[in-house]
Amino acid sequence: MNCQGQLMTQPPPPRPHPGLFKRNPPIAGEAEAIEAAKRGDGEAFARLYDLHKRRVYTLCLRMLGNVSAAEDMTQNAFLHLFRKIESFRGESAFSTWLHRLTVNLVLMQLRKRGLNLVSLEETINPSDEDTPRRDFGSRDQVLAGSVDRVALERAVAALPPGYRMVFVLHDVEGYEHNEIASMLDCSIGNSKSQLHKARLRLRELLRNPSQLPQSPLPSAPAESVK
């Protein structure tokens, strides 16, 4: 798999994405803040930062797994945003546009650090230790119908970087396989395969929660999905 493809630091031409639109409904006052920010209004920048800082930072933290790197990346993403905001034409949700920009910046940094090559190769040719076991598991080891969000967050943090990237992009952020394939410069089949392996690994990790590391993310309310 070639993972050296071109990455855009500019958001791509906006295009509809039903999943993300559903998850990114318009925010009151956002449109006015965007227009004011395009005119260089500092207070509007502050408003946009306030509206989106948590989501951007959480995404960075989840993908990078490190508070300091995530803060630097958040800073970088908003600087890109504010410097290029006049190119936002409103054809997609602003948060979708900002998310895509952030994801691209994170991927670019991971590639600069050489982590992507290692991590994505790992997921294609994983070592024995990294490969999710292919057995279906005995039924007394199933997840008992629910998963604790905090435990899942910790399990995600424990994934190899390549698995984590695809899992976060697809299952958390809502990107489709064709979009992930485009972003990671890999095939759609590879994206599906990586996601499946990531879920299998998470299943293994969640069966042994006592062995999970601490997540860099703060504890969310310990709700579980049934």
Give residues in contact with other proteins (CB under 8 A).
23, 40, 42, 45-46, 49, 53-55, 57-58, 61-62, 70-71, 74-75, 78-79, 82-83, 134, 136-139, 142-143, 145-147, 149, 152-153, 156, 167, 171-174, 177, 187, 189-190, 192-193, 195-196, 199-200, 202-203, 206, 217-220, 223-225
- Strands 147-148 and 224-225 turn out to be antiparallel
Q: Which pairs count as long-range contacts for 183-187, CB under 8 Å and 24+ apart, including other chains? A: 183/7, 183/103, 183/104, 183/107, 184/3, 184/5, 184/107, 184/116, 184/120, 185/1, 185/2, 185/3, 185/4, 185/5, 185/6, 186/1, 186/2, 186/3, 186/120, 187/1
Q: How far is the CB of 137 from other proteins (least distance, A)?
A: 7
Query: Burial level of 98, CB count in 10 A (0-12/13-18/19+)?
Result: buried
Q: How far is the CB of 21 from other proteins (least distance, A)?
A: 13
